[in-house]
Amino acid sequence: MSAPAARRDAAIVWFRDDLRVADNPALDAAARTGKPVVGLFVHDTISPGVRAPGAAQKWMLHHSLAALSDALGELGVPLVLRAGPASDIVPAFAGEAHASAIFWNRRYDQALIAVDSELKRDLTAAGVKATSFNGNYLHEPSLLKTGSGGPYKVFTPFRRALAAGEEPGPPLPAPAQCASGDGELPGLRLDKLSLLPHGPDWTGGLRESWPAGEAAAMGRFTDFLATGLDGYGEGRDRPGQPHVSRMSPYLRFGVVSPRQLWHGARESGAPRADLEKFLSELAWREFCCHLAFHFPRMDSRNFDERFDAFPWRESHRDLPAWKKGMTGYPIVDAGMRELWRTGYMHNRVRMIVASFLVKDLMIDWRVGERWFWDTLVDGDTASNPANWQWVAGSGADAAPYFRIFNPVLQGEKFDPQGDYVRAFVPELSALPDRILHKPWEADTQTLAQAGVELGVTYPHRVVDHREARQSALDALQTVKKAS
């Protein structure tokens, strides 16, 4: 991609996890300078602290960049793509574009903050004014502090502090037409970033699930406000029902902003309890960012160090069965297959499959976290490890390790008519509801009538939950002893 360049005095917007034109403080500020605006995206997987995106995220990034480029084009703003370490690319680009100002929205991982701070210094020394904003969270993670001045480790007081603070400002509109430059700035073609898979195309389910760009994302959110938010409080736990927003992949890449969702929900007229629950979920996202900001390397380190002593298992049989959705537990298998097919999994089921891996199979949460990282379109450096550690019991404000989800009871409670399991485990679809979540208890005739042959058309259970639960509780004693 080559783009017309400003010969003199351009304003650069460095896009990162904020691939949108509406409610984008960096773009808004650049447009207000009246200078020719140039967009830059750097595909940087090698700077210290950068966590290279997983395969599903790369797919989402590709299409989000294509949509952003179109949306910027309508404003007269070119988007230039480059690849390499940001610390080299950004100053060089500022020189080529004859920029006097650069704008970006902040990211909150400590290692990336270090990259950005150093860049700010270098750019300032080179006469380029660098200005940054909070565009991707409702609050600035460094500003919320407990009474004793430290970071929050417990969600409820964090949520209270967030609610007691200032209401997030209203979302900004997309800028009107921006001044454009002249001359050419060379950039890479989008396909040269190699974000799409080579070889067999496994992205059909992703394409069906995640239309790209702001208009599509906001359209989905508007539908959610009209039909999903009313009843969200209870419905959000039912994976077979359309009561969640499915905004997480768009939030991950900043195709929508949390302020747009916050204010959209507030103005929707939804019942108060449903609204509060939804805002509270947005606050969980903030809490995860807060934790990641204050406690770096959450994806590799147990927040609760006593878990360093936990006797995790390795299993060359059980781990692949979990990944493929072949554990013999229908709700677990439905979740893992939803993930594989669509790059997403319903939150309730994420908790069930994570608990199953960590407790029933006693496999290290980091192994599951990495699998999610590679397969989720919404894989997030803060929310993914924070939630894995929450389920494992090693995290901040975590579910206690001894709270072990029973995958049968969870299935029966949250997918009582089996809509979700039948959608993703079709080989069980003819089983009656009463036995759907525990096919091993079905009699021979029921199985035969449903066309199910255990061990042939659908796997036997990899573990017996009751025995596995006991082993997990025994192992927990190791952690207790370490305290």
Ligand X SMILES: Cc1cc2nc3c(=O)[nH]c(=O)nc-3n(C[C@H](O)[C@H](O)[C@H](O)COP(=O)(O)OP(=O)(O)OC[C@H]3O[C@@H](n4cnc5c(N)ncnc54)[C@H](O)[C@@H]3O)c2cc1C
Of 72, 90, 111, residue with least CA distance to 12: 90
Among 31, 354, 363, 468, binds ligand X (CB under 6 A): 354
Tokens found for residue 44: 């940087």
How many residues bind ligand X, per CB under 6 A?
A: 27
Among candidate residues 134, 202, 276, 284, the one labeled active-site is 284
Catalogue the E-assigned strands of 44-113: 79-83, 99-105
Q: Which is nearer to ligand X, 128 or 334 (CB)?
A: 334
| Helix/strand/coil (H/E/C) assignment for every residue in 332-400 | HHHHHHHHHHHCCCCHHHHHHHHHHHHHHCCECHHHHHHHHHHHCCCCCCCHHHHHHHHHHCCCCCCCC
Stretch that binds ligand X, among 113-121, 278-286, 331-339, 356-364 (CB under 6 A): 278-286
CA distances in angstroms from 458 to 90, 102, 105, 426, listed in the order given:
53, 56, 48, 10
Q: Which is nearer to ligand X, 152 or 372 (CB)?
A: 372
Residue span 231-260 as binding mask against ligand X, x where in contact by CB under 6 A, dash where not? -----x-------xxxxx--xx--------
Tokens found for residue 114: 């270090």
Q: Which is nearer to ligand X, 284 or 440 (CB)?
A: 284
**C-alpha–C-alpha distance, residues 69 and 79, integer Å:** 6
**Minimum distance between the CB of residue 229 and ligand X, rounded to whole angstroms?**
9
Among candidate residues 340, 347, 406, 412, the one labeled active-site is 347
Among 138, 174, 376, 436, binds ligand X (CB under 6 A): 376
**Minimum distance between the CB of residue 194 and ligand X, rounded to whole angstroms?**
22
Side-chain half-sphere of 298: how many Cα atoms within 13 Å?
A: 27
Query: Is the CB of residue 286 less than 8 Å from the CB of residue 162?
Result: yes
The yes-or-no answer on residue 118 being catalytic is: no
**C-alpha–C-alpha distance, residues 399 and 105, integer Å:** 33
Q: Which is nearer to ligand X, 41 or 356 (CB)?
A: 356
**Minimum distance between the CB of residue 56 and ligand X, rounded to whole angstroms?**
10
Is 351 near ligand X (CB under 6 A)?
yes
Stretch that binds ligand X, among 73-81, 204-212, 308-316, 382-390 (CB under 6 A): 382-390
Is 288 near ligand X (CB under 6 A)?
yes
Stretch that binds ligand X, among 119-127, 161-169, 321-329, 374-382 (CB under 6 A): 374-382
**Minimum distance between the CB of residue 79 and ligand X, rounded to whole angstroms?**
25
Q: Which is nearer to ligand X, 203 or 384 (CB)?
A: 384
Burial of 446 (0-12, 13-18, 19+ CB in 10 A): middle
What is the distance of C-alpha 4 from the center of its chain?
A: 34
| Beta-strand pair 99-105/10-15 | parallel
Of 200, 210, 197, residue with least CA distance to 67: 210
Is 281 near ligand X (CB under 6 A)?
yes
The yes-or-no answer on residue 440 being catalytic is: no
The yes-or-no answer on residue 202 being catalytic is: no
**Minimum distance between the CB of residue 114 and ligand X, rounded to whole angstroms?**
23
Residue span 98-137 as binding mask against ligand X, x where in contact by CB under 6 A, dash where not? ----------------------------------------
Residue span 383-412 as binding mask against ligand X, x where in contact by CB under 6 A, dash where not? xx--xx--x---------------------
Residues in the chain: 483
**Minimum distance between the CB of residue 65 and ligand X, rounded to whole angstroms?**
19
Stretch that binds ligand X, among 14-22, 268-276, 378-386, 451-459 (CB under 6 A): 378-386
The yes-or-no answer on residue 59 being catalytic is: no
The yes-or-no answer on residue 281 being catalytic is: yes
Tokens found for residue 326: 């072949």
Rounded to the nearest 10 degrees, how much is the dihedral formed by the CA atoms of 190, 194, 198, 203?
Answer: -60
**C-alpha–C-alpha distance, residues 182 and 51, integer Å:** 36
Stretch that binds ligand X, among 170-178, 348-356, 399-407, 412-420 (CB under 6 A): 348-356
| Beta-strand pair 37-43/10-15 | parallel
Q: Which is nearer to ligand X, 153 or 438 (CB)?
A: 153
The yes-or-no answer on residue 388 being catalytic is: yes
Query: Is the CB of residue 76 less than 8 Å from the CB of residue 34?
Result: no
Stretch that binds ligand X, among 95-103, 151-159, 350-358, 406-414 (CB under 6 A): 350-358
Query: Is the CB of residue 101 less than 8 Å from the CB of residue 11?
Result: yes
**Minimum distance between the CB of residue 21 and ligand X, rounded to whole angstroms?**
20
**Residue carrying structure tokens 């485990």:** 425
Give the active site residues.
Answer: 281, 284, 312, 347, 365, 388
Contacts with ligand X, residue ranges (CB under 6 A): 236, 244-248, 251-252, 281-282, 284-285, 288, 347, 350-351, 354, 372, 376, 378-380, 383-384, 387-388, 391
